[in-house]
Structure 1
């Protein structure tokens, strides 16, 4: 596959493009950027800084990827952005590099970032996630696989979003969001299991029944978190998903959305 660079695009010396990369009109690629095979930059998109992207990523008009951290502590140290494969960054999406020297912001694969979504410095985003319009992560947020973030939702720095969680639109998240769960509101409240999302991902009814039981013991019987964890363990219910849920809750440092 031939690489294509529009005559009006700016490709700084040193940038490396894989086979089949397409750079559209007025797009900009910085000197330290590495774009894998089949990546596409539409018109006016920019990728800069020490940014590495895998294959078949698509950057839509005015996406700004790899700009320096907006953290006031940042003093120009060399920092990085790593992007997997198959991601789509829609119009005006912004993804920043890390803050501290040698730090890294990491994006997995097959994610969809809708218009104006923002990923701040030092975040880690898994794979298969959907960021709706204006979904916003502050610094150091960790997002598990297959998380869906509703439009106009903001996540406080250092929070974690567990795998297969869903955040409703206009939600304000200031504590960790448990895996497999749905939260909504300002401030966020735990509403239910993310049953529709889990069914769409092909989880079996046996797994869903186990998660329903764990959710009830953890969050619906008035127990504190330690008591809820003990109740789940005493119930004898044990699946990889329940183990993931309990380990996430035990390791929380910011507290858990309830």
Structure 2
């Protein structure tokens, strides 16, 4: 299933039933899982580790060296999970010595011309729409949806099940389960539609909504609101996850709805 006009290094480890279309180049230190389809004019460089049943569309470049001045030629990787789709002209750079790899989870969709920089970690089920830019060291949780032409600055964190409006500039961390939009970026409610699609009950969605009302709409700063939630609301996995995210956000979270405060 490897076209005769593809350039595949003999050292590359290619799984069963892999299709490689013409004019694609695959380097030697590459591993590709079973059933993956690789379109024409794809470049897969040293350090790529690609899972089973992925789809990689024309023009994509995987595991090029980082666009980072601290990179010193160290051996690093790009790790891509199973059933992930990379559309046309996506670029994913490998890691630096800071983390050692860039990682994309299972069942992700990264749409055309988007860029994932060095040392990023994307969870499972992530959707990145067309033309997004993700700078180095960014962490994106499971089932995040990122609207087209959005950008996340370096070291940013996006909590799981969050939804980012198209054209957004993300300079602060986005906590889990929320929607963010507007300019400057701010809280726009919880991602109730996404949560229902993922099997969250109405009671659980209401609980999450109540937590964020305290954080963003009760005219307290984030520290005061976090203390209030911890004292006044019953401990649950979702409550604790939200509080832990806020606690571990060195750059702070996005603004609250209509408050103008960080």
Q: Shorter-chain TM-score: what band?
A: over 0.9
TM-score by length of 2: 0.94
Structure 1 unaligned residues grouped into runs of 5+ = none
Cα distance in 1 for partners of 2:116, 2:123 equals: 12
| Counterpart Cα distance in 1 of 2:136 and 2:143 | 20
Runs of 4+ in 1 over 4 A off after TM superposition: none
Aligned position for 1:193: 190
List per-residue Cα deviations over 1:154-196 (Å, max 9, x = no partner). 0000010000001100000011100001111333111111111
TM-score w.r.t. the length of structure 1 is 0.96
Please state how far the C-alpha of 1:236 moved relative to its aligned partner. 2.6
- Conserved 8 A contact 2:55-2:83: yes
Alignment counterpart, residue 246 of structure 2, candidates 213, 235, 249? 249
Helix, strand or coil at the partner of 2:63: strand
Aligned to 2:206: 209
CA–CA distance in 1 between the matches of 2:153 and 2:164? 13
Deviation of residue 102 (structure 1)? 7.0
- 1:5 aligned residue: 2
Correspondence for 2:28: 31
- Equivalent positions of 1:1-258 (< 5 A) are 4-100=1-97, 103-258=100-255
SS of aligned partner of 2:106: coil
5+ residue gaps, structure 2, are 256-262
Q: Do the aligned partners of 1:170 and 1:185 also contact (CA within 8 Å) in 2?
A: no
Instruction: Tell me the distance in 2 between the aligned counterparts of 1:101 and 1:144.
Output: 20
Given the superposition, is the C-alpha separation of residues 101 and 77 from structure 1 closer, same or farther in structure 2, using an over 3 Å criterion? farther
Q: Residues 197 and 101 (structure 1 numbering): CA distance in 2 closer, same or farther, change over 3 Å?
A: closer
SS of the residue corresponding to residue 190 of structure 1 reads strand
What is the root-mean-square deviation in Å for CA atoms of aligned residues? 1.2
User: What SS class does the counterpart of residue 32 from structure 1 fall into?
Assistant: coil
- The DSSP-based 3-state class of the residue aligned with 2:238 is helix
